[in-house]
Chains A and B, each alone.
Chain A
Amino acid sequence: MALKLPLRIKTMCLAVPGKVLEAVDARGSRIAKVQFGGITRQVCLDFVPEVQIGDYVIVHVGFAIGKVDEEEAKRAYEYLEQAGLLDEGGSAP
């Protein structure tokens, strides 16, 4: 039984910036679609209640833990990508 492990570097302490595209309420939580480079992922916004659609957040293991400005988000994402710190899914856990 082969199990594919991500081979590219990723680290558990990193948070990755992305853009909030839309958000819905699901089971009492605010769940957003967040864009990281070319892909989108579901992200919980419960720790950043002030965040609006179009804002940039930094995301760790599927939870937004802070808000950043657009310039910082783009800069940081490009860096993580160039440095090989993202896995195939586009996001470090």
Chain B
Amino acid sequence: MRYIDEYRDATIAHRLARRIASHATRPWVLMEICGGQTHTIMRYGLDELLPRTVELVHGPGCPVCVTPIEVIDKAIAIAAIPDVIFVSYGDMLRVPGSRSDLFEVKANGGDVRIAYSPMEALKIARAHPDRQVVFFGVGFETTAPANAMTVWQARREGLRNFSLLASHVLVPPAIRALLQSPSNRVQGFIAPGHVCTVMGYREYEVLAAEFRVPFVVGGFEPVDLLEAIAMLVEQLEEGRAVAENQYSRSVTREGNAAARKVMYEVFETGDRKWRGIGRIPMSGYRIRDEFAPYDAERVFDVATVTAEEPGECTAAAVLQGLQKPHDCPAFGASCTPERPLGAPMVSSEGACAAYYRYRRNAATKA
């Protein structure tokens, strides 16, 4: 109880925990998709507030974690080209590729820059018309409209020296793959609040009906997550399976149509590989042919780069909720945030990094 009592709404949190305990008569396995939500759960020890019968497993919703190793290798190849300015979200720099990482490219004299917004990459492109500026656009549906907008804006301005290395993944196809897997244990899902701010939650209504599994769109605070868990447990106990919205402060059923419009103009849906999971049909975005001059894979001819995952990292099982991070033999030993073997240990929203930060000393606890 020591974590949650630091939280300003600890009383409400305890009340929600009691509500969950009073409704849960059977064991249930629930998954939160979003890495930000995983972080909150670990930070405040929410899993320890729950009755033993309600188990939380952590999903693949960490964009840094699921970006395939070959995309990292492509980024490294492009960033190492003289005259290229390679712009990335900071977390991607330490993600290990097959042989190197972007940090090393930078240390060896490559012009690798960190940006908080893809708009900064456009500014850099305007300021350096003699250099090729590439933005590393990773992320889920929350980030895709922003990255799409850079391409759209570059075309509108006639910028000839900007391109996007796009690696976008989508939540619903990943959930579908998980539910279709014979080893699936998950019986209910907390859908990611900010993905649904953009996308709405109709897609989750379809999944709920098709697989008879409940979904609750959840926010990011402890009380949001506990309320979402309570709503899921109530649905499961009552034998219902629908998509409900706990995070109505930000999410509507329809989502943000203006953001999706730009996203669909620039991107089309295609198969995508997920690091640690493999290829999932129609689970990502690629840049449409009409925007080919802004597609870094085509501009720099790296589309054929392929790579295999290192054997020692067991991220696949972690990202599918089959294994907890501290069950991995490498956890905290040969794999730490300073020297990560796999991406979930790199990103602060990766399950391994969250366990390392908050549960290292409890690693023997089941």
Binding site for B on A (CB under 8 A): 1, 3, 5-6, 9-15, 27-29, 41-42, 44, 46-49, 58, 60-63, 65-66, 68-69, 72, 76, 78-80, 82-85, 89, 91, 93
Contact = CB atoms under 8 A, between A and B. Distances in A.
B262 A89 contact: no
B151 to A, nearest CB: 14
Which of B116, B118, B149, B259 is packed against the most chain A CB atoms within 10 Å? B116
A29 B139 contact: no
Given A9-B348, A11-B39, A47-B262, 5 more contacts: A12-B91, A12-B143, A62-B118, A63-B259, A85-B39
A82 B348 contact: no
Contact of B119 (A10, A62, A84, A91): A62
B205 to A, nearest CB: 20
Contacts of B120: 62
Interface in B109-149: 109, 114, 116-120, 138-140, 142-143, 145-147, 149
B43 A83 contact: yes
Interface in B149-189: 149, 153, 156-157
A80 B259 CA distance: 24
Contacts of A42: 117, 119
Contacts of A85: 36, 39, 220
B342 interface: no
Contact of B348 (A10, A65, A76): A10
A67 B220 CA distance: 17
Contacts of A49: 258
Contact of A63 (B8, B61, B93, B149): B149
A58 B250 contact: yes
B89 A93 contact: yes
A27 B153 contact: yes
B333 interface: no
Contact of B146 (A3, A6, A60): A60
A46 B36 contact: no
Contact of B258 (A27, A46, A72, A79): A46
B149 A15 contact: no
A27 B62 CA distance: 33
A60 B39 contact: no
A68 B348 contact: no
Q: Report the 10 A-B pairs with minimum CB-CB distance, sorted nearest first.
A: A62-B117, A11-B349, A47-B259, A63-B146, A11-B36, A13-B36, A9-B348, A72-B249, A61-B146, A47-B258
Contact of B149 (A1, A13, A44, A58): A44
Contacts of A29: 153
B71 interface: no
B96 interface: no
A29 to B, nearest CB: 7
B197 interface: yes
Which of A11, A41, A72 is packed against the most chain B CB atoms within 10 Å? A11
B103 interface: yes
A44 B119 contact: yes
Interface in B69-127: 89-91, 93-94, 103, 106-107, 109, 114, 116-120
B336 interface: no
Contacts of A13: 34-36, 61-63, 140, 142, 192, 194-195, 349
A3 B149 contact: no
Contacts of B246: none
Given A12-B143, A15-B197, A91 B259 contact: no
B18 to A, nearest CB: 22
Nearest to A27: B157
B220 A14 contact: yes
B142 A60 contact: yes
Interface string B1-18: 000000110000000000
